[in-house]
């Protein structure tokens, strides 16, 4: 049992690639939590895809014992959080479980958009924040400038920030001392009824559902019967423990401690993140406030290339949903693609990660339809329906108006690229809300429609700023606009996977661009294929893919011209019939490439 005054719970927050996971590695290494022979880079990033992309996707916890200079041994509970905007949901709930944060800022890059977003979450959770300037071993490091920037942009005193290099290990002992001396100890009452917060849960093939908890009051022991206050489920505790990154069993968890339990829970769905766990008898009265549920913002259809793999895809999606509470799905069918699932994600990176995991871990080839956002459609009879898939658009004569989701985007960019960024936002129907400067960097705040951002805004932003801009957004609400559904017809048949919602003023240019692109991507057939973009019954753009020619007159030499004409007429009739019954095969790449907007 650890004294409350000797516990410190903290998380590491930073922008992508500012060195969170590397700092976590050094803290684990310096305190000897993991034997030297077992150390590896990014120790806490356990998924293959995390290691490959060099990003953190799931927040991970680890318990470290640290003998401080004052002679006491402290228990430090560290949560390493993701930096990407798509996983900010993971960050927000990690914040609720700890009392302080290390704010890691790259001393060569300075404050970035995601640094701001994550540090504001820490401030909202009432954290004590210790600024840490990383990468001081690089020649471009400028700690004074970055410390000033932290004070100007975030408004935190950075005069006593710690200068470290997580790669070489410089300054790491100072970080450990600062955690002990500058971060507060948790509060809690050991004798009160049990009150614990459910921070996260995941499915383990051997143990069932593993629940990560933070105990606020009371004590939880092996064999206790616990109750989830939101779902009402009751379970006996079978195993209690802490992560040192590997699981280690312990007898009890007291106030202020972070650990895990297993209790023969079958599905992750039974464990709502943010729920309050108490004992079945003499439980606590009031639950904790909990977290806001994560709301999917991007939807897309996932279909197996081989329709016989549909059942495998269903199993794969169900297993992934076990581990990822922020991912939602429902079945759908499409005339062109057969049976599949309509899935909801927190953003495009989240979509890519899930798609990669299905393809890699379950070996299923997928077709992904155009990502779309959720529109609100107000009918003339006063009813409001949510539209997740443009192919399900109701009859326009019954629709009063449409509303689309808007976001508030914060873009940090070096001065010389500001013009290009403003133009990009203007092109995407953005409204400028604010423009401020912090040193040689501008911070632009824009109100943008989410459907303009969702596909390739981030790629475009990176390319016009040579990779120097950083971008973060939050949902700001819905707004009415002139939106129409544009269909693509190939050989006079609508391809529902390519239906998209566009702004009326943009429809013609987008339609023409998509038709031109499809003309390059669809292989030629023996008959000519019209490719059209249409709004309702009106065709707004058209390209024609020429037929492959076979010279049927090759065997005629000299002689009568009518013989040649007769053969050509016969061929023409054959092609016409072929076109009538022919199915045009659209390759998988065409779906994705056709939707990327190259401005």
pLDDT for 594 beyond 80: no
Place of tokens 């292989």: 523
pLDDT for 575 beyond 70: no
Strand partners, 413: 442
Q: Which two tokens stand for residue 589?
A: 């790449």
CA gap 353, 358 in Å, rounded:
9
Q: DSSP code of 374?
A: P
| pLDDT tens, position by position, 181-206 | 888 888 888 888 888 888 777 777 78
136 is in an annotated binding site: yes
Percent helix, strand, coil in the chain, to 5, is 30, 35, 35
Split at pLDDT 50, 70, 90, the class of 551 is confident
DSSP string, 455-468: TTHHHHHHHHTTT-
DSSP string, 149-213: HIIIII----TTPEE-BTTTTBTHHHHHHHHHHHSPPP---TTSPPEEEEEEEEEETTTEEEEEE
**What pLDDT does residue 349 have?**
73
**What would the mean pLDDT of 545-564 be, rounded to a whole number?**
75
| 298-371: CATH number | 3.30.70.870
451 is in an annotated binding site: no
pLDDT for 295 beyond 80: no
Main-chain phi, psi angles of 185, to 5 degrees: -80, 155
Where is pLDDT greater, at 369 or 294?
369
CATH architecture type of domain 391-481:
2-Layer Sandwich (3.30)
**What pLDDT does residue 599 have?**
43
Q: Where in the chain is the domain with CATH 3.40.50.300?
A: 4-182
Exposure string over 327-337, b if 16+ CB within 10 A, otherwise e: bbbeebebebb
155 is in an annotated binding site: no
Nearest to 313 by CA among 248, 362, 373: 362
CATH of 484-595, one of 3.90.550.10, 3.30.70.2570, 3.40.630.10, 3.30.565.10: 3.30.70.2570
User: Other CB atoms closer than 10 Å to residue 116's CB: what's the count?
Assistant: 18
Q: Where in the chain is the domain with CATH 2.40.30.10?
A: 195-279
pLDDT for 47 beyond 60: no
137 is in an annotated binding site: yes
**What would the mean pLDDT of 110-130 be, rounded to a whole number?**
79
340 is in an annotated binding site: no
Nearest to 119 by CA among 147, 81, 148, 173: 81
Q: Where in the chain is the domain with CATH 3.30.70.240?
A: 391-481
Split at pLDDT 50, 70, 90, the class of 45 is very low
22 is in an annotated binding site: yes
134 is in an annotated binding site: yes
Cα 235 to Cα 96, 222, 266, distances in angstroms: 24, 11, 11
**What would the mean pLDDT of 10-30 be, rounded to a whole number?**
78
CA gap 394, 536 in Å, rounded:
11
User: Is pTM, for the whole model, over 0.75?
Assistant: no
**What pLDDT does residue 86 have?**
56
124 is in an annotated binding site: no
| 195-279: CATH number | 2.40.30.10
**What would the mean pLDDT of 57-85 be, rounded to a whole number?**
74
374 is in an annotated binding site: no
Yes or no: say if 332 and 389 are a contact pair by the CB < 8 Å rule: yes
**What pLDDT does residue 58 have?**
53
Any idea which of 44-53, 206-215, 217-226 has the lowest mean pLDDT? 44-53
408 is in an annotated binding site: no
| 4-182: CATH number | 3.40.50.300
């Amino acid at each position: 049992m650890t004294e409350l005054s000797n516990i410190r719970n903290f998380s590491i927050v930073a922008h992508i690639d500012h060195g969170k996971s590397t700092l976590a590695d050094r803290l684990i290494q310096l305190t000897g939590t993991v034997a030297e022979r077992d150390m590896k880079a990014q120790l806490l990033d356990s998924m293959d895809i995390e290691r490959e992309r060099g990003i953190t996707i799931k927040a991970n916890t680890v318990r470290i014992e640290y003998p401080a200079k004052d002679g006491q041994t402290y228990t430090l509970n560290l949560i390493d959080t993701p930096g990407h905007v798509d996983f900010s949901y993971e960050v927000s709930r990690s914040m609720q479980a700890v009392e302080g944060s290390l704010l890691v800022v790259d001393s060569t890059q300075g404050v970035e958009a995601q640094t701001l977003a994550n540090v504001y979450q820490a401030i909202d959770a009432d954290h004590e924040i210790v600024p840490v300037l990383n990468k001081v071993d690089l020649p471009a490091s400028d700690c004074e400038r970055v410390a000033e920037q932290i004070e100007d942009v975030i408004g935190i005193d950075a005069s006593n920030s710690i200068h470290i290099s997580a790669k070489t290990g410089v300054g790491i002992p100072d970080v450990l001392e600062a955690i002990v001396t500058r971060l507060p100890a948790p509060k809690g009452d050991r004798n009160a009824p049990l009150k614990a917060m459910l921070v996260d849960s995941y499915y383990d093939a051997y143990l069932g559902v593993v629940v990560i908890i933070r105990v606020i009051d009371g004590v939880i022991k092996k064999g206790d019967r616990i109750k989830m206050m939101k779902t009402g489920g009751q379970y006996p505790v079978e195993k209690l423990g802490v992560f040192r990154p590997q699981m280690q069993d312990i007898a009890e968890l007291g106030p202020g401690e972070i650990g895990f339990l297993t209790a023969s829970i079958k599905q992750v769905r039974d464990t709502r993140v943010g729920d309050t766990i108490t004992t079945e008898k003499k439980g606590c009265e009031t639950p904790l406030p909990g977290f806001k549920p994560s709301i999917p913002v991007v939807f897309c259809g996932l279909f197996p290339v081989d329709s016989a793999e549909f059942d495998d895809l269903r199993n794969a999606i169900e297993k992934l949903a076990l581990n990822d509470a922020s991912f939602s799905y429902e079945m759908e069918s499409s005339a062109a693609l057969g049976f599949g699932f309509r899935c909801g994600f927190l953003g495009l990176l989240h979509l890519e990660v899930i798609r990669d995991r299905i393809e890699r871990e379950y070996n299923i080839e997928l077709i992904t339809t155009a990502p779309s956002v959720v529109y609100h459609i107000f009918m003339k009879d006063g009813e409001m329906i949510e539209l997740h898939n443009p192919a399900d658009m109701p009859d326009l004569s019954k629709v009063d108006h449409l509303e689309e989701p808007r976001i508030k985007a914060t873009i940090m960019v070096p001065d010389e690229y500001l013009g290009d960024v403003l133009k990009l936002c203007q092109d995407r129907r953005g409204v400028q809300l604010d423009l401020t400067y912090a040193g040689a960097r501008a911070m632009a705040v824009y109100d943008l429609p989410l459907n303009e951002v969702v596909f390739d805004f981030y790629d475009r932003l990176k390319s016009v700023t040579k990779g120097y801009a950083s971008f973060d957004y939050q949902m700001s609400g819905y707004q009415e606009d002139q939106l129409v559904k544009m269909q693509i017809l190939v050989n006079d048949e609508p391809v529902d996977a390519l239906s998209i919602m566009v702004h009326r003023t943009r429809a013609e240019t987008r339609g023409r661009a998509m038709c031109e692109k499809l003309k390059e991507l669809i292989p030629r057939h023996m008959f000519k294929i019209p490719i059209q973009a249409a709004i309702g019954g009106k065709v707004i753009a058209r390209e024609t893919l020429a037929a492959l020619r076979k010279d049927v007159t090759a065997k005629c030499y000299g002689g009568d011209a009518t013989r040649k004409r007769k053969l050509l007429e016969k061929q023409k009739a054959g092609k016409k019939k072929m076109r009538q019954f022919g199915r045009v095969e659209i390759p998988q790449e065409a779906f994705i490439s056709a939707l990327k907007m190259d401005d």
